[in-house]
Amino acid sequence: MKNYEDYVSHLAKIADVGNSIAVLSWDQEVMMPPKGAEKRAQQISTLAGIHHELSAQEDFGKLLEQLVKDNSLSDKQKRNVSESLTEFEKNNKYTTVFVQEMSKTVSQAFQAWNKAKKEDDFKLFEPYLEKLVKLKREECELLGYENHPYDALIDLYEPKTTVAELDVLFADVKNQLVDFVKQIADAPQNEDALMRQHYPKEKQLAFTELVLEKMGYDFEAGRQDISSHPFSTSFSPEDSRVTTRVSEEDLSEILWSSIHEGGHALYEQGLKVENYGLPAGTYLSLGMHESQSRLWENNVGRSLSFWKYFYPKLQEAFPDNLKNYSVVDFYKAMNIVQPSFIRTNADELTYHFHVLIRYEIEKELILGNIEVSDLPRVWNEKYKAYLNIDVPSDSKGVLQDIHWSHGSFGYFPTYSLGSFYAAQFFHKAQEQIENLEEKIEQGNYTELLDWLRTNIHQYGRLYSASELCERVTGEKLNFTYFMQYAKAKYEKLYALQATEKLITN
């Protein structure tokens, strides 16, 4: 068993370096002064090189090869070793020079993106993005692929998922969701003016911290800060942080950012600390991670049941703003379906058109059918085609997401996968947790969080996403559950069927 102990110790060391990079990256996006950018890029690049060397160390590979043949290991230990060997083989396809170059370019690109977005000028970001795309195309060749080079990048975030499979999934989005959204667009629209009043920043932050704490987020093992693009990051289950975005003139900005990122953080806090560094202590995939944030944000956080508990508390925080509005007014305002420019602010239905656009662009960009200089034009054309809106600026268009400045190509499809997993998981939770809706109305989320921790969080990467979905729900990912959820909710909200009654006060 000594060999296994050496393996655990080595993975903890790799995790320590990786989490040190994460701390520096968190600071870069939340607190770092502008003049720190150049040296921060150097610091992260240096640590990234060390991380890669530890991950691809020859002696570590030999240890894994010994352990994979060790029949004395438990099933859990064998799965840890198997996952680590797969990751080791992938890491060995990279050179240290490539890893350091990528890390340095990403740090520089992030600063350029931040400046370009503030000044609303894609040209400021373009040369850095061109370098990143060139590196990502090289990465596809380093990693290898069978059919489409983009498969290699998807696999980094959603292992064993391919363009061929995603094309089928997004065909479902086109064939089923597009027509349903058109039905909603033709119906009388609800109002969201109550969201667009002046809401003081500090009160918003205090309210969302109350919500996060009630959801089960442990502030002794995390914190909430502000960043230009909301995100969640974790250095261990005992230090999992969220950031949010605040607009004093739009309450919806912070509500969905905080609840969404809180869902991510609950997943990280639910991993077992004794598995630190091991596959069993690591999140399964980004699609699975997104399923946790979307379940809390949409299936729970945008429900009438959730706000029956929280709306009176929101009225206490903002009495002048909300005294003339009921909880149903608020529920209708938060669930308006209409085309918009910004993905993170999109409603839960048109959101998938935003993802579809990015997916189609990335595929062609990596293939070389689109170049970086084409991006503003292609982006704007697709927004007109899918959402019938004219993009007014780079900052509300091609510059809105942080992902490309991070080199995160292949990431966007996981957002839609997460929503579809979330609908399927929540459907099963409703079956297995008695009176779940009533518990949500009472502000009691303990059983739901326990269900998620028992069925999903505790396993880390001991199963594939497909295996875990089937283990939890009895079947593989099925888009039908998302459409059932969407229709049950929005047919009532928009009175799309004569037999359904519109929600009343």
What's the CA gap between 8 and 140, in Å, rounded? 30
Q: Indicate the SS3 state at residue 461.
A: coil
Contact (Cβ atoms closer than 8 angstroms) between residue 83 and residue 89: no
Closest to 351 in 3D by CA, of 362, 337, 364: 337
CA distances from 8 to 12, 36, 84, 276, 280 (A): 6, 35, 11, 9, 11
Return the bridge partners of 233, or none. 241
Active-site residue, selected from the candidate residues 83, 261, 290, 297: 261
Q: Would you call 261 a catalytic residue per the annotation?
A: yes
Q: Indicate the SS3 state at residue 230.
A: coil
| C-alpha torsion angle, residues 39, 42, 47, 53 (rounded to 10) | -170
Token duo for residue 462: 């001991």
Contact (Cβ atoms closer than 8 angstroms) between residue 98 and residue 56: no
Return the bridge partners of 241, or none. 233
**Rounded (10°) angle between helices 413-432 and 465-473:** 20
Q: Indicate the SS3 state at residue 146.
A: coil
Token duo for residue 249: 């003139």
- Catalytically annotated residues: 261
